[in-house]
Chain A
Amino acid sequence: MTREAAPIIELEAVLKTYRRKKNFLGGGREKEVVALNRISLSIRQGEIFGLVGESGSGKTTAGRLIVKLEEPDSGRLIVRGKDLADIRGPALREFRRQVQMIFQDPYQSLNPYMSVYDTVCEPLIIHRLVPGQNRRQKVVETLAQVGLNPPEEFLNRFPHQLSGGQRQRVAIARATVLDPVFIVADEPTSMLDASISVQIFTILVQLREKLGATFLFITHSLAAALYLCDRIAVIRSGEIVETGPAKKVIRDPQHPYTRELIRAQPRFRRTVTEQESPHER
């Protein structure tokens, strides 16, 4: 559907390293950890692009760079043809409206002292988008859109009164109330049960249709990527090892690491192959 679409966000040889003290008392030499090793990728308008990798692969770092929560050491992030580093002032403010992030853990990403209404309304106030008298209406509509029905019943609740699935819906409402064009969803269901995950995935797909938004979907799950994404990139130790249409990469993996990931997926109908596993050293 979006094969021919123009790129909305491109990463060009993006390098990101973190420094950490070698010694836990804060002394010692500094050690450099390369989170992203000059990665390049291009996300097209309207697609759900999956970034698939295991813990520590750098996938979350890539998401944080794209929403400009962090800056790359070198390389460029290009948003609709413009270098993100050159976007400043009102244009940056507009970027911050258009690009939103859904975080992994809805138990941590919501402020426990803010009601659902305040949580979802706050972005509208910050960006002065909707006149005061219409804000409530906008919040109610957005809550309905993420399946919190009836919305009025949720407005005055606090996070501790919500289930994990409901919290993540609130987090999605907060991210979408500004009608963003690009949404980074960082493992949005890894804290949730399988039946609730499918509910959340369904909402993301509906949102793409309603908002026409582009998604970067960050996940450790090849299966989720297969169901949700148009194209995926497999990332390991800060390097992208394989990229292509989700079905093609998973059905016909080219890189040994992708093959290893696929082999390791737990599955139902596989006859158990007994083989000695090598000692781990």
Chain B
Amino acid sequence: MALLETEHLTIGYRTRKGLLKAVEDVSFSLEKGGSLGFVGESGCGKTTIGMALMGLLPDNAKVIAGEVRFKGRDIFRLPENERRQIRWKEIAMIFQAAMNALNPVQRVGDQIVEAIRLHEPAFTETGAKARAATLFSLVGIDPERLSDYPHQYSGGMKQRAIIAMALACEPEIIIADEPTTALDVVVQAQILREIRRIQEELDVGILFISHDIAVVAEVCTHIAVMYAGQIVEQGTRSEVFDTPAHPYTQALLNAYLTIEEEDTALPQALPGESPDLTRPPAGCRFCERCDRALDSCRVEQPRWISPTPTHRVLCCGIEDLRHSSPKALQGGPK
């Protein structure tokens, strides 16, 4: 049994324009100590999934269908007090730009001690302080800096402190939502290295959410590509990034500018924008932007196709996929 299993998860927001299904029929699982990266562009639903797992959806959002089992228990059916036991203690989250959420008038160490003692009342003040020092060493900050205030930290150190806080109760899963997006690239590289190291050392599972495919590729062994509320391609890092099969994955890889590229002519831009999810298209959600769309794609729901047991693609325009060699699939990426 996987540590976390999500099946057919569908989440809607009530909006003035009607029900918006931000997440639709999303299924994935995470093994103990595994890493799964959700990648997609703004509005694709990746943050909503993280919030749903934490039980932190806003008031106008609702889980419409599906279930999420953590260690076999459906967390949406648990009473709130049991839900709270899971939140932070077993599943913790690092939010985007969370470093700005540190209390500016309280020492960073005190904030961590408070978090530890709130969730683990058995800890004494001294014990919690020692734990905070251990956590700081783990995330690469000198424990002496625990007595500093947040403004004495750089952006990267604040983000490390937030990671330390997420680790405070030794969770089994960390959901990291764009944890490095607000940071400069040099600091980002350090933090990503740190996350990888901690993940290995503590054997903690990671759900990593990012719009940046290279960042996800650095941290995660498994990848889910999302478009307009749905997972459109899922597999190992190598399956999704080396042999991408969905036209959107290929376009996403194609649009990613990298300094490794020899040919520096701008790639062909993917035309158009994501659909309005209050009025989703009848057929495939990507077909309006897809250069391989068939007439049937506009009206028929796309189906899952599995090139390998671990790789699946939501597309009906690539029926012959199983018969083509992986090499032939490399349309977009370089």
Interface residues of A (CB under 8 A from B): 54-55, 163-166, 193-199, 201-202, 205, 220-224, 226-228, 247, 250, 260-269, 272, 274-281
Query: Could you say which residues of chain A place their CB within 8 Å of the CB of B185?
Result: 54, 220, 261, 264-266
Is B259 part of the binding interface, using a Cβ–Cβ cutoff of 8 Å? yes
Is B255 part of the binding interface, using a Cβ–Cβ cutoff of 8 Å? yes
Q: Is B186 touching A261 in the complex (CB atoms < 8 A)?
A: yes
Query: Could you say which residues of chain B place their CB within 8 Å of the CB of A260?
Result: 186
How far in angstroms is the closest Cβ of chain A from B246?
14
Is B1 part of the binding interface, using a Cβ–Cβ cutoff of 8 Å? no
Q: Is B257 touching A193 in the complex (CB atoms < 8 A)?
A: no
Contact partner, A198, options B194, B211, B212, B266, Cβ 8 Å: B266
Complex interface: stretch among B63-71, B154-162, B305-313, B318-326? B154-162
Query: Could you say which residues of chain B place their CB within 8 Å of the CB of A268?
Result: 213-214, 217, 241, 258, 260
Please, which residue of chain A has its CB at the minimum distance from the CB of B200? A274
Is B42 part of the binding interface, using a Cβ–Cβ cutoff of 8 Å? yes
For the complex, what is the distance from the CA of A280 to the CA of B160, rounded to whole Å? 10
Q: Is A194 touching B256 in the complex (CB atoms < 8 A)?
A: yes
Q: Knowing A201-B266, A280-B160, say if A269 contacts B142 (CB, 8 Å).
A: no
Q: Is B193 touching A277 in the complex (CB atoms < 8 A)?
A: yes
Please, which residue of chain A has its CB at the minimum distance from the CB of B265? A227
Q: How large is the interface on B (under 10, 10 to 19, 20 to 34, 35 or more residues)?
A: 35 or more
Residue of A55, A194, A220, A269 with highest tally of chain B CB at under 10 A? A194
Q: Knowing A193-B41, A195-B252, say if A267 contacts B260 (CB, 8 Å).
A: yes
Please, which residue of chain A has its CB at the minimum distance from the CB of B263? A227
Query: Could you say which residues of chain A place their CB within 8 Å of the CB of B259?
Result: 222-223, 226, 250, 262, 265, 267
Is B291 part of the binding interface, using a Cβ–Cβ cutoff of 8 Å? no
Contact partner, B257, options A163, A202, A226, A275, Cβ 8 Å: A226
Is B296 part of the binding interface, using a Cβ–Cβ cutoff of 8 Å? no
Q: Knowing A163-B273, A195-B41, A198-B270, say if A266 contacts B192 (CB, 8 Å).
A: yes
Q: Knowing A250-B259, A267-B260, A277-B194, say if A195 contacts B269 (CB, 8 Å).
A: yes
Knowing that A262-B259, A265-B185, A279-B141 touch, tell me 6 more A-B residue pairs with CB under 8 angstroms: A194-B213, A198-B267, A223-B257, A264-B189, A265-B189, A266-B192
Query: Could you say which residues of chain B place their CB within 8 Å of the CB of A194?
Result: 41, 211-213, 252, 255-257
Q: Is B142 touching A281 in the complex (CB atoms < 8 A)?
A: yes
Is B59 part of the binding interface, using a Cβ–Cβ cutoff of 8 Å? no
Q: Can you show 21 pairs from A to B with CB atoms below 8 A apart?
A: A163-B273, A164-B42, A193-B41, A194-B212, A194-B252, A195-B270, A197-B257, A198-B269, A199-B269, A199-B270, A199-B271, A201-B266, A202-B269, A227-B257, A262-B259, A265-B185, A274-B197, A275-B193, A280-B140, A280-B190, A281-B142
Please, which residue of chain A has its CB at the minimum distance from the CB of B271? A199
Contact partner, B215, options A197, A223, A266, A281, Cβ 8 Å: A266
How far in angstroms is the closest Cβ of chain B from A20?
14
Q: Is B257 touching A221 in the complex (CB atoms < 8 A)?
A: yes
Please, which residue of chain B has its CB at the minimum distance from the CB of A229? B264
Is B145 part of the binding interface, using a Cβ–Cβ cutoff of 8 Å? yes
Query: Could you say which residues of chain B place their CB within 8 Å of the CB of A205?
Result: 266
Query: Could you say which residues of chain B place their CB within 8 Å of the CB of A224?
Result: 257
How far in angstroms is the closest Cβ of chain B from A100?
22
Q: Is A165 touching B217 in the complex (CB atoms < 8 A)?
A: no
Q: Is A272 touching B141 in the complex (CB atoms < 8 A)?
A: no
How far in angstroms is the closest Cβ of chain B from A51?
15
How far in angstroms is the closest Cβ of chain A from B216?
9
Q: Is B255 touching A197 in the complex (CB atoms < 8 A)?
A: yes
For the complex, what is the distance from the CA of A202 to the CA of B270, rounded to whole Å? 11
Query: Could you say which residues of chain A place their CB within 8 Å of the CB of B184?
Result: 54-55, 220
Query: Could you say which residues of chain A place their CB within 8 Å of the CB of B251?
Result: 195
For the complex, what is the distance from the CA of A165 to the CA of B273, rounded to whole Å? 8
Q: Is B140 touching A277 in the complex (CB atoms < 8 A)?
A: yes
Query: Could you say which residues of chain B place their CB within 8 Å of the CB of A261?
Result: 185-186
Closest 10 CB pairs of A and B: A266-B214, A193-B41, A264-B189, A223-B257, A54-B184, A198-B269, A199-B269, A195-B270, A264-B186, A194-B255
A interface footprint on B268-281 (CB within 8 Å = 1, 0 otherwise): 01110100000000
Q: Is A269 touching B260 in the complex (CB atoms < 8 A)?
A: yes
How far in angstroms is the closest Cβ of chain A from B140?
6
Q: Is B258 touching A202 in the complex (CB atoms < 8 A)?
A: no
How far in angstroms is the closest Cβ of chain B from A221?
7
Is B196 part of the binding interface, using a Cβ–Cβ cutoff of 8 Å? yes
How far in angstroms is the closest Cβ of chain B from A157?
14
Please, which residue of chain B has its CB at the minimum distance from the CB of A202? B269
For the complex, what is the distance from the CA of A202 to the CA of B192, rounded to whole Å? 31
Q: Is B264 touching A226 in the complex (CB atoms < 8 A)?
A: yes
